[in-house]
Structure 1
Amino acid sequence: MGSQEVSTVDWQGKHVTVAGLGVSGIPAARALHERGAHVTVVNDGDDERARAQAAELEALGITVRLGDGATLPPSTELIVTAPGWQPDKPLFLAAAEAGVPVWGDVELAWRLRGDNGRKAAPWLAVTGTNGKTTTVRMLASILEAAGLRTAAVGNIGVSLLDAVLGDTEYDVLAVELSSYQLHWAPSLRAHSAAVLNLAPDHLDWHGSMEAYAADKGRVYEGNTVACVYNVADPATEGLVREADVEEGCRAIGFTLGAPGPSQLGVVDGILVDRAFVANRQKQAQELAEVSDVNPPAPHNIANALAAAALARAFGVEPAAVRDGLRAFRPDAHRIEHVADIGEVAYVDDSKATNTHATEASLAAYDSIVWIAGGLAKGATFDELVTGAAKRLRGVVLMGADRALIHEALTRHAPEVPVVDLERTDTGAMSEAVARAAELARPGDTVLLAPACASMDMFTNYNKRGEAFADAVRARADESA
């Protein structure tokens, strides 16, 4: 199926099982019910919230089974699943045995785009282990600067189903896709797509690094104009080589160095394009200055280049790339500068929940007091510590798996002073900031980049970042 073709399905009387209540399951159930399908929702949980959600759906005439997400309902012709449900769940094993296809919410949205005569907007898709949300929001900002009707959708902001079925007719959609979503999206065919990077993540879900990479690589299948890859991460280029794309689709690299032909890169502080120019062998088009990227950390410049490549693939003019990057404001807790106190910068990167993200964060600063720790999710820290050792003024560790980081520091950076905080109460972050301040010297950066998930001490990474920012601001007020 070509990228611009719309698939039509006669839903009337079709027996569809929706797996999982929640942000994707409920809209899917409603959309299918409105189109005449016989919808049964199955859900593992049976708590108060689930019962309230079930009551709303049952009032519409949708069947809901709580506490039993394992059994395949009789007569099921299709399963539409929440992206987080693992492929080895009994429900899916039963579906495979019965020959019942499984779609995710992204696949359903793809199939429903253009439904009821709506314009089917092309998709510019982004995936990768880290940087997806920032890149998609940068891309949307660039597209808006070009005067296009767009939205950042998918694994971010507006749900894809709402975007494709809503009243707004978009010119193009900037789509963030997780590996989970791509696993369940067999017929997705984007206009252009980017894989930003690949590092071990969610291996418990996918089963292996190879399976994880293969699901990420699905984003390139059927691309019509450009497959954007990271020159510094050869695995992403490998996925482009393996993809079955439309004839004429090009491989476009992005690099923090000087770009070769068919690449975007950086020359003397300028973001330049040698891919979408008349003579890419000899010419380069200036797009923006590094200072137009906020913040101008190396991995964020890489995000900007990927966003620019996708926008240029869609025909956006250079001035809109510059204007869109200038207008972009990063989400909270992503390399967010909180304050300067006594010539020491305090930076919140609570979103750095794995080693790959933290490696990029640490690389952005020359001399660091690093606050780290939390739930390691099976990660190891030797490579991270080895790479960052020369930049570390000191380290403050907190959280359930801090010992794993401490052991790596002992092995690879024994000269770096380490403060090990045992406390896990709400005041722990304030103490972490205070101890980091004691280690810091003028010109240093105190960086919260935990390399771990937050749920051992905080509700989520947002709450962890807020605790850090609150502690820093309180310290700034005291020193004022």
Structure 2
Amino acid sequence: MAGQVNWEEQRVCVAGIGITGVSVATTLLGLGARVTAVDGGAGARLQDRADALEAAGAVVRLGDAQTLPQDSTLVVTSPGWRPDSPLFAAAADRGVPVWGDVELAWRLRGPDAAEWLAVTGTNGKTTTVRMLASILEAAGLRTAAVGNVGTPILDAVTSREPYDVLAVELSSYQLHWAPSVRAHSAVVLNVAADHLDWHGSMDAYAADKGRAYEGNRVACVYNTADPATERLVRGADVVEGCRAVGFTLGSPGLSELGVVEGILVDRAFVENRRTHAQELAEVTDLAWPTGDEVVDGGVPGPAPAPHNVANALAAAALARAYGVPATAVRDGLRAFRPEAHRIAVVGTVGGVTYVDDSKATNPHAAAASLAAFDQVVWIAGGLAKGADFHDLVRRARPRLRGAVLIGADRHLVRDALTQHAPDVPVVDLDQTDTGAMAAAVHAATRLAQPGDTVLLAPACASMDMFVNYGERGDAFAAAVADLR
């Protein structure tokens, strides 16, 4: 806690001056620490941030992210910095601890601090944590979605108006640098290969995800369809009495949440759970209206994708672990609205539905998206980040009407299609400029038939062609609008 550190005696090196780094530096300056912020980047936007931090009292060093300031007593890193960075090697050699922003936030909590309900996983984190925040709000609690999404976690922890409970999204990067965090309850939604270039191995990646369970007091929530999440629960060092609680798309067993005849039910946080269950919500409560631009008239809220039903169960489990009543689960899920670029219907033209899931930036996310539709013309490709697409294509083959490939690593997707779906028509667009999206939408339209879905679920990162996945999704929606 803050009282254990005399911050005026600390010389803190802040690694990175993105959104997280600025929040860290500002917080530390407010505590009286001397701050030197380092960043290897350059450019006008970064210089503006540097100027603002220097005006607040920090020393900022741009263009050199490898040299540790000589008098440093602590390093606080932004999430994306690789653990093999020379800066961290220098810190280890000199015995200087390295924390992430989440670790700093945890240590700054006061004696009456809000509880943390933690959410991590390869995919679905943001949707689940926002569902959780919506449920907690419906219960009348002061809360916020924080961490890897929404409000910077340091801002929430140091807020003058205290929170009751926080819905905390934690990436594997953040968990790697947060050894002290001990949440009230946590969920690992799923574990699939991602960011292995950063973590070094699948085992290391999974181990960092599993840190979310360390020290849990009430519930470790896991996905019964993903055995890796249950293994992480079994290996976690938790407080005595903490329970393992599963969620499933099927009928729930003892100490599980699941689905029975279209109803989300709880057999974990009820009395006499051996013989009783509590209804929480209907699956149809998750059919949120899209509110997006529609070409051929109105589009009702789409039937919820299976993975979003799973996300809702995970959010409900954490809320129930905190003691939220069933009515608040229902009301919170009804009030929730997904963020953009997450299975968002952007229009219908000629009986074909166009869906933007640009956030599906790895094969695991794309597989969940493809599984939500019966017949799909798939737009895929981008930066593969070392991913393998063979299992994805093998499973998706029965649903594919066709595929349109874009981006720098599209050949990897094409190779998987050639091997596992040779009869699926493929359009390979030899373009990597942003205008390729319009060509991709027109090519997909030619392949689609009435009743089909044209699905942007790239299974790849976007930075070869776009600033981020949001810009990629916006380009897709604009191309669909132009079909008129």
Contact 1:124 1:174 in 2 (8 A): yes
Write the letter of the residue equivalent to 1:153.
Answer: V
In structure 1, the residue matched to 2:27 is: 31
Write the letter of the residue equivalent to 1:463.
Answer: E
- For residues 252-271 of structure 1, the aligned pairs below 5 Å read 252-271=245-264
Contact 2:393 2:416 in 1 (8 A): yes
Is the aligned partner of 1:133 residue 2:129? no
Is the aligned partner of 1:14 residue 2:10? yes
Structure 1 residues 437 and 153 mapped into 2: Cα distance closer, same or farther (>3 Å)?
A: same
C-alpha deviation, 1:46, in angstroms: 4.2
Is the aligned partner of 1:278 residue 2:286? no
Distance 1:108 1:281 in 2: 42
In structure 1, the residue matched to 2:290 is: none
Is the aligned partner of 1:324 residue 2:322? no
- For residues 184-333 of structure 1, the aligned pairs below 5 Å read 184-294=177-287, 296-333=304-341
Distance 1:79 1:427 in 2: 42
Write the letter of the residue equivalent to 1:439.
Answer: L
RMSD value, Cα: 1.5
C-alpha deviation, 1:327, in angstroms: 0.6
- For residues 434-473 of structure 1, the aligned pairs below 5 Å read 434-473=442-481
Q: 1:44 pairs with 40, 46, 52, which one?
A: 40
Contact 1:286 1:318 in 2 (8 A): yes
Q: Relative to structure 2, which stretch is displaced further, 395-404 or 356-365?
A: 395-404
Q: Relative to structure 2, which stretch is displaced further, 235-244 or 11-20?
A: 11-20
Q: Relative to structure 2, which stretch is displaced further, 325-334 or 337-346?
A: 337-346
Contact 2:254 2:273 in 1 (8 A): yes
C-alpha deviation, 1:111, in angstroms: 0.9
Structure 1 residues 430 and 49 mapped into 2: Cα distance closer, same or farther (>3 Å)?
A: closer
In structure 1, the residue matched to 2:51 is: 55
Q: 1:183 pairs with 148, 171, 176, which one?
A: 176
Per the alignment, in what secondary structure is the counterpart of residue 395 of structure 1? strand
Per the alignment, in what secondary structure is the counterpart of residue 244 of structure 1? coil
Per the alignment, in what secondary structure is the counterpart of residue 74 of structure 1? coil
Distance 2:24 2:475 in 1: 36
In structure 2, the residue matched to 1:82 is: 78
Contact 2:197 2:386 in 1 (8 A): no
Per the alignment, in what secondary structure is the counterpart of residue 348 of structure 2? strand
Contact 1:6 1:120 in 2 (8 A): no
- Structure 2 regions of 5+ residues with no counterpart? 288-302
Is the aligned partner of 1:159 residue 2:152? yes
Question: Structure 1 stretches (4+) deviating beyond 6 angstroms?
Answer: none
In structure 1, the residue matched to 2:396 is: 388
Write the letter of the residue equivalent to 1:405.
Answer: V
Is the aligned partner of 1:121 residue 2:129? no
Q: 2:384 pairs with 369, 376, 384, which one?
A: 376
Write the letter of the residue equivalent to 1:113.
Answer: R
Per the alignment, in what secondary structure is the counterpart of residue 82 of structure 2? coil
Structure 1 residues 269 and 121 mapped into 2: Cα distance closer, same or farther (>3 Å)?
A: same
Structure 1 residues 323 and 67 mapped into 2: Cα distance closer, same or farther (>3 Å)?
A: same
Per the alignment, in what secondary structure is the counterpart of residue 24 of structure 1? helix
- Structure 1 regions of 5+ residues with no counterpart? none
Per the alignment, in what secondary structure is the counterpart of residue 19 of structure 2? coil
Structure 1 residues 18 and 427 mapped into 2: Cα distance closer, same or farther (>3 Å)?
A: closer
C-alpha deviation, 1:427, in angstroms: 3.2
Structure 1 residues 341 and 60 mapped into 2: Cα distance closer, same or farther (>3 Å)?
A: closer
Contact 1:399 1:457 in 2 (8 A): yes
Write the letter of the residue equivalent to 2:45.
Answer: R
TM-score, normalising length: structure 1: 0.95
C-alpha deviation, 1:53, in angstroms: 2.4
Distance 2:227 2:425 in 1: 36
Distance 1:54 1:426 in 2: 31
Distance 2:234 2:278 in 1: 26
Per the alignment, in what secondary structure is the counterpart of residue 142 of structure 2? coil
Distance 2:99 2:168 in 1: 18
> Residues 117-142 of structure 1, C-alpha deviation per residue, up to 9 Å, x if partnerless?
7x411011100000000000000011
Distance 1:338 1:34 in 2: 44
Per the alignment, in what secondary structure is the counterpart of residue 365 of structure 2? helix
C-alpha deviation, 1:52, in angstroms: 3.0
Structure 1 residues 426 and 363 mapped into 2: Cα distance closer, same or farther (>3 Å)?
A: same
Structure 1 residues 122 and 285 mapped into 2: Cα distance closer, same or farther (>3 Å)?
A: same
Write the letter of the residue equivalent to 1:93.
Answer: A
Write the letter of the residue equivalent to 2:171.
Answer: S
Is the aligned partner of 1:418 residue 2:426? yes
Per the alignment, in what secondary structure is the counterpart of residue 385 of structure 2? coil
In structure 2, the residue matched to 1:408 is: 416
TM-score, normalising length: structure 2: 0.94
C-alpha deviation, 1:198, in angstroms: 0.3
Distance 1:340 1:58 in 2: 51
Per the alignment, in what secondary structure is the counterpart of residue 12 of structure 1? helix
Contact 1:95 1:101 in 2 (8 A): yes
C-alpha deviation, 1:404, in angstroms: 1.3
Per the alignment, in what secondary structure is the counterpart of residue 162 of structure 2? coil
Per the alignment, in what secondary structure is the counterpart of residue 174 of structure 1? strand
Write the letter of the residue equivalent to 1:458.
Answer: F
C-alpha deviation, 1:381, in angstroms: 1.0
C-alpha deviation, 1:352, in angstroms: 0.6
Distance 1:111 1:270 in 2: 40
C-alpha deviation, 1:6, in angstroms: 7.9
Per the alignment, in what secondary structure is the counterpart of residue 393 of structure 1? strand
Contact 1:375 1:399 in 2 (8 A): yes
Give aligned-pair identity as a percent: 71
> Residues 149-195 of structure 1, C-alpha deviation per residue, up to 9 Å, x if partnerless?
11111100110011111222111010111000011111101111100
> Residues 64-96 of structure 1, C-alpha deviation per residue, up to 9 Å, x if partnerless?
222222222223221111111111111111211
